Copies of this chain bind each other. A is one copy, B any other.
Amino acid sequence: MTACIFVSPAEESAGAARADRLHPVDPAAPQIPVTDLGVTRGDGIFEVIGVRSGHPLMLEAHLHRLANSAVMLDLPTLDLEAIRAAVLQVIESDGLLVESSVKVVVTRGVEGTGVPICWVLSSPAEDFRKDRTEGVRVVLLDRGYPHDIAARAPWLLTGAKTLSYAVNKAVLREAARRDADDVIFTSSDGYLLEGPSSNLIAKFGSRIWTPAPAQGILRGTTQAAVFEVFSELGFSTAEVLMMVDQVVDADALWLASSTRLLAPVRAVDGHEIAVDHELSDAVNESLLSGTR
């Protein structure tokens, strides 16, 4: 129920037909050397793409963001055509699962070679229906950076989707210790940012807001699709600065991510907040229709 394809870099296989550059492997067998910079330094990038009945959701937006992360990490230019072909091929070899996901990983490769390693892996999606209908409990955790960090210190790679996600996992363990399911990061100067693998979306009357990516936030592929749906439903949408204390004034809050899609927030730091089930269901149904 899973498939994995390695993608040769273009410069290593000049002249080879694209299909000859895709190498299906056994995902259960060891594939990565211990000297790969992805595993020794978290030095690489990734994307996770939701798949619905064989259709990859927001595929172009994910490929675009992958290319952008590559630039931020000074990785060689990616061959997005070959990666796209690999994504479609793993989905096909995986059969028509109702919901699955595809992960694309690019590491800087074995130290000293300068040749990135890229693979594409499909797996069945977790069952997120409960998260989408009942919602998730979140805690606010300081990310330590001021909200203008991206412009001040681009070397911190905020806004790139890197393999260095140990902190993104650590905050989920901290959330569990506080009896919560997920996290909303805040800036050291009091702004709401994003989740460790999701974007925050807030409803204030007829307005739908998300924290502006310039705050060192990963630009959301699902958030962008969610904004399209909200626009079609007659809401106005905007990327804004939101202070922490505005969280209590919102009519509804959601976390948007590629496989879980739109998960309503039902508690922040232990305080219950209202869930707009009707609106959540409408947006998720539109996302799952696979037209994006």
The listed residue (B32, B156, B164) touching A31 by CB distance below 8 A is: B32
| Closest chain B residue, CB of each to CB of A149 | B144
**A167: B residues at CB distance < 8 A:** 155-157, 164
- Residues of chain A from 142 to 175 with CB closer than 8 A to chain B in the complex: 142-146, 149, 152-153, 155-157, 160, 162-171, 173-174
A interface: dominant SS = mixed
Number of copies: 2
Query: In the complex the two chains form, is A43's CB within 8 Å of B149's CB?
Result: no
We find that the number of chain A residues with CB closer than 8 angstroms to chain B is 54
Query: In the complex the two chains form, is A170's CB within 8 Å of B4's CB?
Result: no
Kindly specify which of A34-42, A242-250, A266-274 makes contact with the partner chain: A34-42
The listed residue (B36, B108, B142, B168) touching A41 by CB distance below 8 A is: B168
**A165: B residues at CB distance < 8 A:** 40-43, 164
Query: In the complex the two chains form, is B170's CB within 8 Å of A157's CB?
Result: yes
Once A74-B173, A144-B145, A145-B144 are accepted as A-B contacts, the answer to whether A163 and B30 lie under 8 Å apart by CB is no
Bound form: Cα–Cα A171–B43 in Å: 12
A141 interfacial by beta-carbon distance below 8 Å: yes
Query: In the complex the two chains form, is A143's CB within 8 Å of B156's CB?
Result: yes
The listed residue (B35, B144, B169, B173) touching A27 by CB distance below 8 A is: B35
**A93: B residues at CB distance < 8 A:** none
Once A32-B33, A39-B107 are accepted as A-B contacts, the answer to whether A152 and B163 lie under 8 Å apart by CB is no
3 closest A-B pairs by CB: A42-B42, A164-B164, A164-B166
Offer 24 A-B interface pairs, CB within 8 angstroms, sorted by A: A4-B34, A29-B30, A30-B32, A31-B34, A34-B105, A34-B119, A39-B107, A40-B105, A42-B42, A42-B163, A42-B164, A43-B166, A73-B166, A74-B170, A74-B173, A108-B169, A141-B153, A143-B153, A143-B156, A144-B145, A144-B146, A155-B173, A157-B167, A160-B166
